[in-house]
């Protein structure tokens, strides 16, 4: 009995060795499992290449790194795939997968488009934008607006720099705005035209040359951080501290099918990197605004007296009421702006300064 047991044990070990060897050989002979092809997106920003290095590229780099090959995004700067005014339609059609821009500039056919970019006096500081979206309900309104339009998903909004003026001509009074040909946003230009400004819309990268050739007198497009970053401070002479809005309302958008094609964890990576990018831009802009006004050597800083600028603020209030009459959504957004402005005025101090 003991002999048979020993013999059986030997037989088992022998057969097991053959089985293991066969399994190993099969494993070596089997073709390697191919990793899934990465999802590839094309992403266009409103910003030219110089500015895009700070406002869009850090986010795209962060997404590509965190996605570890599962999602690869190629970044394109202003007008490189399509003109900025065609961004929405191109995004909707899937020509572009994602966009960083504002509703106004990209001509989005949504009820909230007029409020994107620089809506006159709606904001005083960059942090007003996330407050309005997260605490006062604008996020839900924006998401619903794009859902109704179809094909495009609105992801997130944040504030950036104020809308000041950088010009060849010295501006010391409200009358000095009369006749100025300025590169600006559609709604901002519509508002400024009542003060004699001639709004001009051309491709972003053409604005600097247009000042040099005399086609433009300057820009009402950004704060002083951008002026120095993109080269506009090299072709203009003056910076006006008065602004028509304290922060740009810009957003990130994505093609609906492209978004639905991402796994939940990739969606989380995208959103986390966008939110981190908001934080970076806010401090980059805010610090630059102070430092360059105080220490910048290219632009001479000027200010229109507060009593004169009050005329512009009063005109903005009237403009709000006119926009509110255009529809139910507009009325709802304007009410939110008014409610928040009332809180700011009551709080006083830094909450009300322009």
CATH number of domain containing 75: 3.40.190.170
**Would you say residue 4 lies in a domain?**
no
Q: What is the mean pLDDT of residues 44-67?
A: 97
Mean pLDDT, the chain, as a whole number?
91
pLDDT at 193 over 60: yes
pLDDT confidence bin for 353, thresholds 50/70/90: low
Strands lying side by side in the sheet with 181-184: 198-200, 181-184, 218-220, 165-167, 238-240, 300-302
> Does 50 reside within a domain?
yes
Q: Are 252 and 316 spatial neighbours (Cβ–Cβ below 8 Å)?
A: no
Q: What percent of the chain has pLDDT over 90?
A: 88
CA 49/CA 222 separation, integer angstroms: 16
CA end-to-end span of the chain: 100
For residues 99-105, average pLDDT: 97
Provide the domain limits for residue 78: 40-160+247-293
Residue 140 belongs to a domain: yes
Asked if pLDDT for residue 34 goes beyond 50, the answer is no
Number of domains within the chain: 1
For residue 111, pLDDT beyond 60: yes
270 in a domain, yes or no? Answer: yes
pLDDT for 36: 76
The pLDDT of residue 5 is 45
For strands 98-101 and 249-255, give the pairing: antiparallel
The pLDDT of 306-335, averaged and rounded, is 97
145 found inside a domain? yes
Whether 223 maps to a domain, the answer reads no
Across 59-83, average pLDDT? 98
pLDDT of residue 337: 98
Percentage of the chain modeled with pLDDT above 70 = 89
Residue 206 lies in a domain: no
Q: pTM for the complete prediction?
A: 0.87
Per-residue pLDDT tens over the stretch 201-210: 999 999 999 9
The pLDDT of residue 343 is above 70: yes
pLDDT exceeds cutoff 60 at 117: yes
Determine contact, residues 138/333, Cβ cutoff 8 Å.
yes
Residue 26 pLDDT > 50: no
Residue 1 has pLDDT above 50, yes or no: no
CB 174 within 8 A of CB 312: yes
Whether 281 is in a domain gets the answer yes
Question: What pLDDT shows up at residue 32?
Answer: 45
What pLDDT digit, counting tens, does each position of 231-277 carry? 999 999 999 999 999 999 999 999 999 999 999 999 999 999 999 99
Over residues 68-82, the mean pLDDT reads 97
What's residue 23's pLDDT?
A: 43
């Amino acid at each position: 009995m003991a002999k048979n047991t020993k013999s059986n044990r030997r037989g088992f070990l022998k057969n097991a060795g053959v089985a293991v060897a066969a399994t190993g050989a099969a494993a070596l002979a089997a073709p390697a499992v191919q990793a899934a092809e990465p999802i590839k997106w094309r992403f266009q920003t409103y910003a030219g290449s110089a500015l895009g290095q700070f406002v869009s590229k850090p986010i795209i780099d962060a997404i590509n790194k965190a996605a570890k090959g599962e999602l690869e995004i190629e970044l394109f700067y202003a007008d490189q795939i399509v003109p900025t005014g065609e961004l929405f339609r191109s995004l909707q059609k899937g020509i572009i997968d994602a966009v960083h821009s504002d509703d106004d500039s990209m001509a989005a056919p949504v009820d909230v488009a007029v409020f994107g970019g620089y809506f006159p006096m709606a904001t005083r500081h960059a942090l007003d934008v996330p407050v309005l979206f997260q605490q006062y309900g604008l996020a839900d309104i924006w998401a619903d607006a794009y859902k109704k339009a179809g094909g495009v998903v609105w992801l997130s909004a944040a504030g950036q720099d104020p809308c000041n003026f950088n010009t060849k001509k010295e501006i010391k009074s409200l009358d000095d705005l009369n006749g100025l040909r300025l590169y600006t946003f559609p709604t901002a230009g519509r508002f400024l035209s009542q003060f004699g400004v001639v709004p001009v819309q051309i491709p972003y990268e053409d604005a600097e040359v247009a000042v040099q050739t005399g086609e433009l007198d300057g820009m009402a497009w950004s704060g002083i951080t951008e002026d120095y970053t993109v080269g506009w401070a090299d072709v203009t002479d003056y910076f006006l501290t008065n602004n028509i809005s304290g922060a740009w309302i810009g957003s990130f958008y994505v093609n609906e099918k492209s978004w639905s094609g991402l796994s939940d964890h990739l969606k989380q990576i995208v959103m986390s990197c966008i939110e981190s990018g908001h934080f970076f831009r806010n401090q980059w802009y805010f610090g630059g605004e102070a430092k360059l006004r105080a220490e910048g050597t290219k632009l001479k800083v000027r200010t229109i007296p507060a009593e004169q600028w009050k005329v512009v603020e009063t005109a903005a209030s009237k403009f709000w009421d006119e926009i509110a009459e255009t529809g139910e959504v507009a009325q709802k957004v304007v009410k939110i702006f008014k409610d928040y402005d009332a809180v700011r005025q009551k709080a006083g101090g830094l909450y009300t300064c322009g």
